[in-house]
Amino acid sequence: MSVLSTKERILNSTEKIISEKGFTGISLRTISAIAKTNLAAVNYHFGNKENLIEMVLERRLDNLFELRVKLLDELEAGSENPCNLKQVLQAFITPALTMSNDNHQGGKQFMEVLARAYAEKSDFLHDLLSKRYADVIKRFANAIQRSRPNLNKRVVFWRFHFIMGSLIYVMADFGASSRSNELSDSEYFNICCNELVDFAYNSLSE
């Protein structure tokens, strides 16, 4: 097991605290305590609190969108043209849910952070999505469009956004209230993933 740098430990503990207590419950003193470092280390490494939170978002979102792009690339390089819609949706949804199921690497915590950032209308997150990742989102929207040529372009656009809404809802475990206790985490997320893909696929039927 590798030893984590102070910077990494701070990012991890921030992620953990936000996912547990939300943005309201954050304090740099708690963060530094859990990261087993000094209070001033946070400002030393990240400048200020706002920047720290932004770095938490950036670190993971880059991974998430990288993975999505990779899967879409593979699909578009394949023989099917247009791509199989269900696979396109899987390429978008699965990485997010895989991440949120990856407790070991803190992915689950991050997904909750992400959902909270959405709710808080983080300007930084907004910029990230509308600039850095806009192309990826557009690529997915186009791939969906091509496989459903008879659907109005505007309608596809709306539904893709609704699907993203459901995804965020699930990721953040919003519906946890309704979750059965008999399922393990990985079982739950497998079912969830399948159900969500089917749901999305169905919603895009012509």
Instruction: List interacting residues with its own copies (CB under 8 A).
Output: 22-24, 115-116, 118-121, 126, 129-130, 155, 157-159, 161-170, 172-178, 192, 195-196, 198-200, 202-205
Question: Considering beta carbons, is residue 49 or 146 the nearer one to DNA?
Answer: 49
Residue 38's binding partner out of DNA, its own copies, none, with CB under 5 to 8 Å set by partner kind:
DNA
Question: Considering beta carbons, is residue 47 or 149 the nearer one to DNA?
Answer: 47
**Contact status: 22 vs DNA (CB under 7 A):** no
| C-alpha distances out from residue 145 to 68, 69, 132, 142, Å | 17, 17, 22, 5
Question: Considering beta carbons, is residue 53 or 96 the nearer one to DNA?
Answer: 53
Closest distance to its own copies from the beta carbon of 23 (Å): 5
- HEC-encoded secondary structure of 63-129: HHHHHHHHHHHHHHHCCCCCCCHHHHHHHHHHHHHHHHHCCCCCHHHHHHHHHHHHHCCCHHHHHHH
The amino acid occupying position 175 is: G
Question: Considering beta carbons, is residue 28 or 144 the nearer one to DNA?
Answer: 28
The Cβ-side half-sphere exposure at 77, using a 13 Å CA radius, reads 6
Q: What is residue 23's DSSP assignment?
A: G
Q: How far apart are CA 31 and CA 10, in angstroms?
A: 7
Omega before residue 82 within 30° of 0, cis = yes
**Contact status: 191 vs DNA (CB under 7 A):** no
Question: Considering beta carbons, is residue 70 or 138 the nearer one to its own copies?
Answer: 138
**Contact status: 26 vs DNA (CB under 7 A):** yes
Residue 189's binding partner out of DNA, its own copies, none, with CB under 5 to 8 Å set by partner kind:
none
Closest distance to DNA from the beta carbon of 131 (Å): 24
Question: Considering beta carbons, is residue 8 or 58 the nearer one to its own copies?
Answer: 58
| Relative orientation angle of helices 153-171 and 185-203, to the nearest 10 degrees | 170
Residues within window 40-69 making contact with DNA, judged by CB under 7 A: 40-45, 48-50
Q: Could you tell me which stretch among 32-40, 80-88, 113-121, 162-170 binds DNA (CB under 7 A)?
A: 32-40
The 10 Å CB-count burial string (b at 16+, else e) for 103-122 is eeebbbbbbbbbbbbbeeeb
Q: Write out the residues near DNA by the rule CB under 7 A.
A: 5-6, 26-30, 37-45, 48-50
